[in-house]
Amino acid sequence: MSHSSDRTSSRDRDEISDLLIHYAYCIDTRQTDRLAEVFAADVVTNYGYGEGGEWIGAEMLIAGIGEQVASFEATAHMITNIRISLAGDTASSTCYVTGWHWVKEGDTDPERGADFLFTAAYVDDLRRESAGWRISRRRVRRLGPSALTLGSLPDYMRPQE
């Protein structure tokens, strides 16, 4: 591999890592409209929980995530353990997410702990587009049998009967 290829590979990895972190930033700052900067227009996702976890197309995904984010007073998502495999203008990545969530209808004490903690792996396929790297497919694999509940879970995350 040439030095030029090394630099390109390093730059691609940095751009993809930044994209994954930008996703969390958009969620936590309630800028879900900016998720169009993260996902391809034809993205297919499966967030792996009950109703509202499968979305086809960025428009549907952004609307669905927007509705879910609106049910929280606050969230804090940490993206770690990023692994990226490059193949020209496509890539695959896996990263861990730890998401702290405060439900709006929960305890109103401003000093309360989070209502629940969600741990998962994002397994993504990406492609390079004219505007940069975009996630074209996302699957969410839970790390454990359930969210760790400290308070209450929103309805869409409760086990389906």
Predicted local confidence at residue 69, as pLDDT: 92
Question: With the CA atoms of 80, 83, 87 and 88 taken in that order, what torsion angle do they form, in degrees rounded to the nearest 10?
Answer: 40
Buried b (16+ CB within 10 A) or exposed e, 109-136: eeeeebbbbbebbbebbbebeeeebbbb
Predicted local confidence at residue 3, as pLDDT: 44
Instruction: Please tell us whether the domain made up of 3-157 is placed in CATH 3.40.50.2000.
Output: no
Contact in structure between 128 and 51 (CB atoms under 8 Å): no
pTM: 0.84
Mean pLDDT of successive 10-residue segments in the chain (161 residues)?
64 97 98 97 84 82 92 94 97 96 76 82 97 97 72 61 59
Predicted local confidence at residue 151, as pLDDT: 61
Tell me the pairing of strands 116-129 and 148-149.
antiparallel
Predicted local confidence at residue 137, as pLDDT: 98
- Domain boundaries, given as residue ranges, for the chain: 3-157
